[in-house]
Structure 1
Amino acid sequence: MFYHTKKLQYFKPPEKPDPIYAKKIQELIGGTFGEMTVMMQYLFQGWNCRGPAKYRDMLLDIGTEEIGHIEMLATTIAHLLDKAPIKLQEDGAKDPVVGAVMGGSNPRDIITDVMAAAMNPQHAIVSGLGAMPADSVGFPWNGRFIVASGNLMADFRSNLHAESQGRLQAVRLYEMTNDPGVKDTLSFMIARDTMHQNQWLAAIEDLKAEGLEDTPVPSAFPLELEKREFAYQFWNHSEGTESAEGRWAKGPSMDGKGEFEYVKHPQPLGPEPTPPAQPEPRLYGTPQFRQTQDQGQQKASDRKIIG
């Protein structure tokens, strides 16, 4: 059961409308690393969790918190869009395209530059000056963005990645506005992203300490079933050898189960592949060799038999 409290988790209203910035904020709602993604990711990981109860409870805690973050951002967007159409009409002459027409210039020369900064028309046409489950260019949120594998270590690492990307985008948006209210709200969300990154790092350490999972994931797969001679080799697959200077190229492996080895000139270990079988006649693929007329007639006869 979910229970909604009418008060927002945190919120400071924007000081003035800004439909262009409202379009940018959509990325934090419906983008690949937006709040909709982490909300659904954490909830499905929690619902599917078969491990210790503390992990399931923690996942449902944070997943539910992310619902509140979406509500905060949706409310921010609504404020940013308030009276936006009127404002846009009043400032129409200031628009570079309108100004180009009024000044006798060719608007085509600058349309490309201003399209990326224009108000999202769907905010007026589709949502009636409200937020949408979409990113900053109007692409709908997609359930394929989420990761819920059933392996907590794999999932927690994905969660750390999502929170890292999400915080990166939030701080970029923080730098793109001078509105004190928007900055205040984003400042709270950025702080929560800081906690969540630390939370996933702590959860990863917990899994290791309890012996439930380790590196490589899945750690329960028998190591003798993989070709161990290749397990810790770094292959230099591009020009230059600067990659040899990294931690991944020498010394003990991170899982403590091997030694890194730098392979400067990796060689192919398999043979040249043989061509696939000739195409089935009814699929009309291109054969390896040109057919004679007699062969073509034979193929036609074969098709009758097959059909």
Structure 2
Amino acid sequence: MFYHIKELQFRAKPEKPDPVYARKLQEVLGGQYGEMSVMMQYLFQGFNCRAEQKYRDMLLDIGTEEIGHVEMLSTMIAQLLDGAPADQAEEAAKDPIIAAALGGMNPQHAIVTGLGAAPTDSNGYPWNSKYIVSCGNLLADFRANLNAESQGLLQVVRLYEQTTDPGIRDMLSFMIARDIMHQNQWLAAIEEIEQMDGPIVPASFPRERAVEEATRQFLNFSEGEESRQGRWASGPLPDGTGNFEYVVKPQPEGQIPILGPAPDHQHSAPGVKPYVANPGKS
């Protein structure tokens, strides 16, 4: 059960309308790494969580917060569209040259949503549930969450630099702060689980069933060996099972693929007579 409080979590009021910037904000609302994605990702991970109760509670806490962020962004976009030239936008939808002249306003804001936000990215592509990750493995899910917050924060910071509107920057500064907190949150949760189960996902697969030497080897397929300088090329493996090995010019260990002939179409459907293009001619 969810409750809705009328007040926003934080201030979301621009100094003046800006329909072009409203289009930009659509990316962090309905894009792959936008607030709709993290909202749905955390909520479904929480709904499906079979682990210790504290993890379910944490996921639903942050997922519920993200609902509020979706509302904040939607409110900001709607205000940025106040007073937008709806008639010009409709005309722009008919003529790409006019659309370009208007400077990039999304015509759908006037034609489809009535000067409101949409569940789409900045190019109008609909939000897609394929954007979210909820696999049931906490470590895998939390790493996906860290990536989502990292990508999302990067986009918000870039948007912050593309406006001088103090009201927009005020809201974005709060969202930046929360994304920093959320990255720290997922890093802490990942660290906790790694201390219990190790860093490899899944931890349950018997290691002896893997090709053992392949679990250690960094394969150098390029001409140079600059990659040898990285932490991934030497020293102990993070999972504590051995040391990295750097392999120059790895050699194939498999066979040359030789496939059988394709089945003749005459035999692909038993009982069906083959098609003859010119009957009676050899």
Q: Taking structure 1 as the reference length, what is the TM-score of the superposition?
A: 0.82
Partner of 1:273: 257
Runs of at least 4 residues off by over 2 Å: 86-89, 111-117, 302-307
Partner of 1:120: 106
Structure 1 241/130 Cα, relative in aligned 2: closer, same or farther at 3 Å?
same
CA-CA distance at 1:232 after TM superposition: 1.3
Residue type of the alignment partner of 1:191:
A
Post-superposition Cα deviations, 1:221-240, rounded to whole Å, max 9, x if no partner, equal 11001111110111112232
Post-superposition Cα deviations, 1:113-172, rounded to whole Å, max 9, x if no partner, equal 948951000000000000000000000000000000000000000000000000000000
Residue type of the alignment partner of 2:152:
G
Structure 1 113/227 Cα, relative in aligned 2: closer, same or farther at 3 Å?
farther
Superposed, which structure 2 residues align to 1:83-122 within 5 Å? 83-85=83-85, 114=100, 117-122=103-108
For structure 2, the 5+ residue unaligned runs are 90-94, 273-282
Superposed, which structure 2 residues align to 1:130-279 within 5 Å? 130-209=116-195, 211=196, 213-279=197-263
Superposed, which structure 2 residues align to 1:292-307 within 5 Å? 299=266, 302=267, 305-307=270-272
CA-CA distance at 1:84 after TM superposition: 1.0
Structure 1 47/180 Cα, relative in aligned 2: closer, same or farther at 3 Å?
same
CA-CA distance at 1:205 after TM superposition: 1.5
Which is greater in Rg?
Answer: 1
- 1:77 matched to 2:77: yes
Residue type of the alignment partner of 1:251:
G
Check whether the contact 1:174–1:183 (CA below 8 A) recurs between aligned residues: yes
Structure 1 256/136 Cα, relative in aligned 2: closer, same or farther at 3 Å?
same
Q: Taking structure 2 as the reference length, what is the TM-score of the superposition?
A: 0.89
Q: Percent identity?
A: 61
Distance 1:29 1:244 in 2: 41
SS in structure 1 opposite 2:85?
A: helix
Structure 1 303/143 Cα, relative in aligned 2: closer, same or farther at 3 Å?
closer
Check whether the contact 2:86–2:110 (CA below 8 A) recurs between aligned residues: no
Post-superposition Cα deviations, 1:203-229, rounded to whole Å, max 9, x if no partner, equal 1122133x2x32211111110011111
Check whether the contact 2:30–2:119 (CA below 8 A) recurs between aligned residues: yes
Structure 1 116/46 Cα, relative in aligned 2: closer, same or farther at 3 Å?
farther
Distance 1:237 1:70 in 2: 45
CA-CA distance at 1:277 after TM superposition: 3.3
Check whether the contact 1:153–1:214 (CA below 8 A) recurs between aligned residues: no
CA-CA distance at 1:254 after TM superposition: 1.2
Residue type of the alignment partner of 2:133:
V
Distance 1:121 1:248 in 2: 48
Residue type of the alignment partner of 1:181:
G
Check whether the contact 2:26–2:117 (CA below 8 A) recurs between aligned residues: yes
SS in structure 2 opposite 1:263?
A: strand
CA-CA distance at 1:272 after TM superposition: 0.8
Post-superposition Cα deviations, 1:282-307, rounded to whole Å, max 9, x if no partner, equal xxxxxxxxxxxxxxxxx4xx578532
Superposed, which structure 2 residues align to 1:25-36 within 5 Å? 25-36=25-36
Say how many residue pairs are matched: 269
Distance 1:80 1:124 in 2: 12
Structure 1 146/115 Cα, relative in aligned 2: closer, same or farther at 3 Å?
farther
Partner of 1:55: 55
